Amino acid sequence: MEELTKLDRPNSMTLQRRDITRELRLMVITDRHLARPHEISEVVEAALVGGAKAIQLRNKGDSANELLETGRNLRCLTEDHGALLLVNDRLDVALAIGADGVHLGPKDPPIQEVRKLVSDEFLIGFSADDPELAHSAVTEGANYIGCGTIYPTSTKLDAGDVIGIPGLRSVIDAVSVPVIAIGGITNNRIPEV
């Protein structure tokens, strides 16, 4: 086995190449406020029992210590269920808890710089609703694209313009990696997406 650097900390999810296309069909994104009166871990465990294979820790406003504590709990749950765990924005937290990856946006560190610090198995997602930006992100090392806002949403006030299904299709056509639609996707809208 090749010698691993300290940033290549393997966990059960990164020791083998994963089929992320299948696992990213549904990503549960955490939100402490939307989970109330339940704890994040309760909501995530229910999602995992229900078949979710990807969880993104995205508790905006939480301190680094709060994210670490929640992340460690979610890491145990996702490992028990054979699911991916990604951390929104915070590479430091993702590495500290042994997450499978990080999800970045345009205001986060550049993908190519993050890619230099992590193993090839470490997943990097990127938020893009523009086909050219999505293509550029994949060229720089993104493994998947989070695309939206597909429909109007009340859960993220700074979500950006609604791009609809045509905008989603244009991003899908521009890249060769999985594209995760986000924003206003209700049970009734799932078949269209």
| Distances 125 to 1, 100, 122, 128 between C-alpha atoms, Å | 27, 11, 10, 10
Cis link prior to 109 (omega < 30° from 0)?
no
Active site residues: 58, 127, 156
Residue 173 makes CB contacts below 8 A (sequence gap 6+) with: 131
Consecutive H or E run containing 124: strand 123-127
In whole angstroms, give the CA distance from residue 103 to residue 177. Answer: 14
Q: Which two tokens stand for residue 137?
A: 């992100």
In whole angstroms, give the CA distance from residue 81 to residue 19. Answer: 16
